[in-house]
Structures are given as structure tokens and as C-alpha cells.
Amino acid sequence: MRARVARSYVDALGTPRSAAPETVARFEELLHEEPHHFVAPAVVLRDGETLAIDVTLPAMSWTENLRWELVRDDGTTEEGVVALREAPVLSADHRVESTYDTRRVAIAGPQPHGAHRLTLIVDAYARAVVHVVVVPERAYPPAGRTWGIAFQLYTLRSERNDGIGDFADLRAVCRLLGERGAAYAGINPLHATFRSDPEAASPYAASSRIWLNWLYIAVDDVPEARDASVRAIAERPAHRERLVELRATELVDYAGVAAVKDELLRACFAVLASDAERLAAFDSWCAAKGEPLVRFATFETLVARYGRDVAAWPQTFRTPTSPDIALFAASEHDEVRYAMYLQWIAAGQLAAVADDAAKHGVRLYRDLAVGVDLNSADVWADANAYVAEVSVGAPPDVLNTLGQDWGLPPLDPRGLAQDGYAELLALVQSNCRDAGALRIDHAFSLARLYWIPRGGDARSGTYVEYPLDDVRGIVALASTREQCVVIGEDLGTVPEGFREKMEETGVLSYRIVFFERRLDGTFVPPEEYPALALAASGTHDLPTIPAWLRGEDVELRDRLGLLETPLEQERAARRKDWAMFLDALIAHGDLAPGERDDDVAVVVAANRYLGATPCAIVMAQLDDILEERDPVNVPGTSTQYPNWRRKLSTNVDALASDPRLRRLCTALNEIRPRDTS
């Protein structure tokens, strides 16, 4: 696959844009690859397709035989011999040294789903190993017309947590939603952030998308926490007072929470050695996770020692394959093991929450971020998989007329096939695990990404294509393996044919009520929404409905200097949108005319409106119905606004008796009752 760099494109505002010639030239230089001289490193096949491989060899080899051996991922094997003269010639390349023919060689019949290895040998000419990935035509399908409620896990308050929502809080909310008829509990990405820099809180600029955020561990649920030595720490007056302070804050005090949790979890880790059964279970889990876990734990230990800027580390530690890395890990054995222990506990608690939720009729709806930080564990562990010289973002759109630079390094499209898409498959499958649905943030990344020269202006970038047909097959394979519905977040500049390809693959579209508009600005009626979609009243990047109705987000963006148009013009536009939105809800029969100023009534009506669509899933927002006014994130800001920190004003323990939540759940359950058959 040869990546293509777009010389021009149309942005979300409908404006044609030409990429700077120097940007195109630079990206093409970064993506340059020599044509393969024998065979491509990977082939992706669909159900029922014959295993056939295109091979390129000197024309004089046509009298030779090709020997092959297929090793499937279940360990079974098959082998055979094919006469090259029997393979049709697809093309001829007349090079200086010789003429090369490309022939299509039929190897075997249809193969089972999975990642297999095919060895090809043509004596005296070539030998290669090809990754053969067989994928289903479609992802795991949704069941009926269901609903759920989404929230940010860290925002949950409770009388027992450590100042941040955790897995025990999640279990409680899942049970409540299950009792109310919900099918999904939607949460933010659980990706591992930087343990030694807890204030770097964005779940969308993580250290690893494979491993988990340790701050979500419910310490009181850890078996080792029952030991007397750990209880002694937890029962100290100073510790109790500190927890009261952390729970009372309006914003998550990440550094404070991390300090409290770290002290207790280190005490738990010290206790582990005295429990032979638990220690054996831990060692077995670590062995199963293998080298990737060791690398992640080693990275965390290195960051704690040398800081987050990998370029400032001693040269010998900047690559995980350096001999000195093993020596460092050995010298920091306990710290590396502690990092692994945290991942073991987090994974076990997440799995337990998912199992418990399923018993109450609820599945987790997880979120996969578009990338990781440049100085992340994932990039350090496999630098060749990323392009560090550029960052990804988005061209100008309705929300950000200056464009966006997310600062995240993109996956290298050349490298995806080199390992048979193994890294991508592991990434998607790990995030489908313990979930009934997975939202892929900025799903356009499966087809193309907006690359920006690192350090350049967001408007100076252009699009680079990815092998969509292969990648969507990998997503479908991960989805079916884990029996997890996939939703592709397809907001913004939609590539031509993208939604059609996703529909063919059974990936749900992502429709936000405020963006579903006709050309005249009026709102699309429910019956015109697509069936293969998830419909929602908001996202983490949008204001809550109560704030939107009053234009509070406009006022906030003005205070932050993010408005490009005059404030009064923005206010007038919002008043017009507000009126049209409420008119649509009233016309559809979801809102009484006298309820236009009732926030709760409007939130319930908006979700009833979406509930009437044919969409497979409707996701309400917990922040909406609890009448939160401050956003959890303001796109385009970093230190100007406390993103990813604001807590809910309502305690988890009070949700069961909250009349607003009961009213929302009752409305959705009436229009989308759970199938109990």
C-alpha cells in the first residue's frame, strides 16, 4: 500500500483548500517506500475469499515452482506447491536489469477468521513471510433499538471514593441504569495517562491506548487492602481528613488523588508477597501479557526517573530494545513490578464491573481515542509505528475556524501492514474487551488523517490516506471476536464514500442532534435519521443542553478569546438555533409549549425526540439531565480552562432518588423498552 498525500481538499465549511507544495513534498518524503520486489507483507481477505497472492519475480522464473506453508493462528498448518506457469500474469515491469512479471498465485481455498502466516519460497529467487488476515464482512451487530446514558467516569462523586470517580462508582451507576432499563453505560476513554504527571488529565492525549488509567482503581475493592497494615494507613486521621478534602473539591485534584491512592496501593503491593495464591495469579497474568506489559511498566519507571520528555533521556534509554533497558528494569525491579501490579488490579476491576453490569442488563460503551501523546509509552515501545515529525488535527470547521492541532503523532500508514495489522488489531480488540459497544473517536482516521508539520499552523496541513478497506476489516474482526458493537465518530469533514463503507461493514454512524440540520437550518425529523447509527444529545466537546439553551458556551468562548465573530452576532445565531430546536421538539409532540424554559423538560424531550428515530442506539448525557452548566472540555484550550476536571454536582448515592434521572429513564424506557426475550 502506497500512502497518498492530498494536494487539495474541501474543509467542513465547504471551502476548497490547496495544500502547500512544501507540505506535500515533505509528507511524500516521509512516506516514501520502495516497491516490494516479491510480495506485499500482508493481505486482508473477507469471508469466503480464496487465498491468492500477487508475486513479483523476474520473468525468467516462470518455469519455477512456488512452495508455500500456511500456519493458522490456531496452530493448524497446510502446505503445497504451485507452478508459476499456471499463474496468470497481471502486469509486466521492464526494468534495467530484467523484466519483472506480477502473477496472481492461487494458494488455497477460503480460510477461517484470524491472523495467519504464509511462507512463500521460490528456489534461487525469493523467500518471504506474508501475514494473511481473514476478516468478517461485517462487525458485530446491535440488537434492536436500545438506549443508554453517557458520563465521564472521573466526574462521579461518592462518599467512598478518593476524590475521583472509580470502578466501584461505575459499578453502582451501571446497576442503577440496568434497573431503569438502560442497555449501555457510556464512559470516557480509560487509557493510561502519565502516572508521574497526574495533572496531564486528558483521556484523549494518553500515554497508552492499550493499558488502563490506574486512577480508576477502587482501592477499597483491592483484596490486599483488607490487610491490617493497609487498614492502618487508611484509618489514620490525616488520611481521613485528606479524603474529605478531595471529595469536596469542585474539580478533580489529580495530584492529590494520585498521592493518596499511591500510598495505599504501594502498601497493598507490599502485602501481595505474603499471599501465595494471589502472587501466583499475578505472575500468571503478567506472563500472559508478556513483553508489551514489561515495556509499559519500564516506561513508567523511566518517566518517573527522567521526566516526560523522552528526547531528554540518556540516549541509551530512548529505545526499548537497548541492552541497557533490561539492566535498568532489573535495577528497578520493584518499581516495574508495582507498575504491572496496578495494571493487573485495574484490568481485574474493569472486568468485574463489566460482568456485574451484564447481570443487570447493561454493557459498557467504551471510547477509543484517536491517538497518544508524542512522548507516550506506545510511541516509545514502537517508534517505527508512528510518524513523529508531524501531528494530527483537523482543518477549519464550524467549531474551530482556525483548524485544530491535537499534537498527537499519527500511525505510519506504511507500518500498518508490516506486522499484518497486529498492532491495530490488538489496539481495537483490547478496547472492545469488557464492553458491549466501542466508540472510535474521529473514525475518519481509518480512511485518512489531517497531518500538520510539527510546530506549524493547523491550517498548513493536508490529508494523508490510510488503507480503509483493510483497516475496516480489522475493526470488524476485533468487534466480532469480542462481540462488541462499533460506532464510528464521523463528525466534521466526511471523506467521500466513507459512511457508505462503514455501513457496508456494519459500523454505526454517530449522529448528534444539534448537527443534524437541513440546509435551511431546521432540525432533521426523527424518521430521517439512519437506522445503523447511534444518536446522542451531546459529546464531551459540546456544551450541556442547559448551557446551550442560554448561550453560556458562547459567553465562555468569548471570555477565552476563541470567538472569531462578534459576540452579539453569535448570541443572535444561538437565539435562532434555540428557537428552532424547541419548535422541533414541540412540533414532534415531545415538549409542551409551556415547558420551553424548563431545562429538565427540554432534556427529556430532546432524548424522546432521538428515541423516536430508527437509530440502533440512543445515548443520553448524564450531565444534561443533572443540569450541569460548565463543560467538561472546551476544544482549543489547554491551561485557559480546567478541562477534564469538573465533577458532577450530584452524588452517586443520590442518583437513585433523583427525580430528574428517573424521569429521563422512564421516558426512554417507554419509547425503547428493553427486549427481555
Residue 46 has a pLDDT of: 96
Nearest to 411 by CA among 396, 397, 427, 398: 427
3-state class of 435 per DSSP? coil
CB count within 10 Å of CB 251 equals: 14
Q: Where are the alpha helices (DSSP H) in 273-332?
A: 276-306, 323-331
Residue 73 has a pLDDT of: 94
Give dist(CA 111, CA 72) in Å, integer: 9
3-state class of 266 per DSSP? helix
Give dist(CA 182, CA 49) in Å, integer: 39
Nearest to 341 by CA among 291, 271, 431: 271
At residue 279, φ and ψ (nearest 5 deg) are -65, -40
Written out in words, the top-level CATH class of the domain with range 159-366 is: alpha beta
Rg (CA), the chain: 27
What does the chain come to in residues?
Answer: 677
At residue 557, φ and ψ (nearest 5 deg) are -65, -35
Residue 635 has a pLDDT of: 87
Given 3-state DSSP classes, what are the helix, strand and coil percentages for the chain, each rounded to the nearest 5?
40, 20, 35
312-335 pLDDT, tens per residue? 999 999 999 999 999 999 999 999
Residue 1 has a pLDDT of: 47
Asked: is 48-135 a CATH 2.50.20 domain? The reply is: no
Residue 143 has a pLDDT of: 95
Nearest to 644 by CA among 251, 294, 298: 251
β-bridge pairing 146-150 and 617-621? parallel
Residue 636 has a pLDDT of: 81
At residue 357, φ and ψ (nearest 5 deg) are -60, -40
Low-confidence ranges of the chain (pLDDT < 50): 1
Residue 459 has a pLDDT of: 84
Q: Are 625 and 660 in contact (CB under 8 A)?
A: yes
Q: Are 569 and 511 in contact (CB under 8 A)?
A: no
Give dist(CA 156, CA 622) in Å, integer: 10
453-497 pLDDT, tens per residue? 998 888 889 999 999 999 999 999 999 999 999 999 999 888 889
Residue 36 has a pLDDT of: 64
Give dist(CA 141, CA 51) in Å, integer: 26
User: For the chain, what are the domain ranges?
Assistant: 1-38+382-505, 48-135, 159-366, 509-630
Q: Are 25 and 7 in contact (CB under 8 A)?
A: no
Give dist(CA 514, CA 522) in Å, integer: 10
